[in-house]
């Protein structure tokens, strides 16, 4: 059990091994389980499409299936996609797919909070795109979390609860799965949506 990397030059990308392993160990504790996850780094869009089982759009750079993660390699990601991804963003991409694997073992791929949880735990947020959602009611977002922007808004809100109020990630995960978030944190949502922070890594902007 653990995490394995394939077709990655660690002499150039040692930070990936270090930072992703730390995330894997952390998320294993949150879900109280250990998985055997294999990550394959692909150097061509053709190879990526072959593993996916069909032609993919330029924005698509990673996917997971049964604890196997396929990614466009960090060396070619900006050449083979529409992204302009730096080191921090690439680590978040990997962690996002790892979070999908763990949540899939906790629920299933059809669970409506799948994308929200992956964004939250990996901190892979869409900050600017979610600005319009700050005027929405929390229940409205919770009822349509498969919408990508709604999922990101909820992910940021979960991170806000976790950091500002020191709420345990495992507790929030259970409350989300039981759909208790709106009932328990409606006043926190009002505070969050009225202030609306822009830098998710800087609590001073909350």
CA–CA distance, 112 with 1 (Å, rounded to integer): 28
State mean pLDDT over 66-71: 95
pLDDT digits (tens, 9 = 90+) for 16-46: 999 999 999 999 999 999 999 999 999 999 9
Q: Decide: 131 and 196 in contact? Cβ < 8 Å.
A: yes
Give 36: exposed, middle or buried? Use CB within 10 Å, 0-12, 13-18, 19+: exposed
pLDDT at 199: 52
Q: Is the entire prediction scored with pTM above 0.85?
A: yes
pLDDT of 201 higher than 80: no
Q: How confident is the model at residue 90 (pLDDT cuts 50, 70, 90)?
A: very high
Among the residue ranges 74-78, 92-96, 107-111, the one predicted with the least confidence is 107-111
- pLDDT of 202 reads 54
User: Cα(24)–Cα(9) distance, rounded to whole angstroms?
Assistant: 20
The pLDDT of residue 135 is 76
Cα 13 from Cα 97, distance rounded (Å): 18
Q: What percent of the chain clears pLDDT 70, i.e. is strictly above it?
A: 94
182 backbone dihedrals φ, ψ, rounded to 5°: -65, -40
Q: Residue 118: pLDDT band by 50, 70, 90 thresholds?
A: very high
Q: Please name the residues in contact with 204: beta carbons below 8 A apart, sequence gap of 6 or more.
A: none
pLDDT reported for residue 206? 42
Average pLDDT, the chain: 89
Residue 70: strand pairing partners? 40, 63
């Amino acid at each position: 059990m653990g995490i394995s990397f394939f077709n990655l030059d660690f002499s150039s990308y040692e930070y990936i091994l270090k930072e992703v392993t730390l995330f894997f160990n952390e998320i294993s504790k949150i879900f109280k389980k250990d998985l055997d996850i294999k990550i394959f780094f692909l150097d061509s869009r053709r190879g990526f499409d072959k593993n996916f089982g069909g032609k993919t759009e330029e924005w698509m750079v990673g996917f997971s299936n049964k604890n196997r993660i396929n990614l466009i390699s960090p060396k070619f990601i900006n050449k083979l996609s529409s992204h302009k991804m730096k080191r921090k963003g690439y680590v978040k991409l990997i962690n996002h797919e790892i979070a999908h694997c763990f949540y899939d073992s906790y629920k299933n791929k059809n669970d409506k909070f799948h994308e929200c949880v992956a964004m939250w735990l990996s901190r892979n947020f869409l900050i600017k795109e979610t600005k319009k959602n700050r005027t929405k009611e929390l229940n409205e977002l919770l009822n349509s979390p498969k919408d990508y922007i709604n999922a990101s808004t909820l992910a940021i809100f979960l991170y806000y609860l976790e950091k500002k109020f020191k709420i345990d990630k495992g507790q929030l995960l259970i409350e989300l799965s039981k759909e208790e978030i709106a009932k328990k944190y409606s006043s926190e949502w009002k505070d969050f949506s009225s202030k609306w922070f822009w830098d998710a890594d800087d609590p001073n902007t909350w």
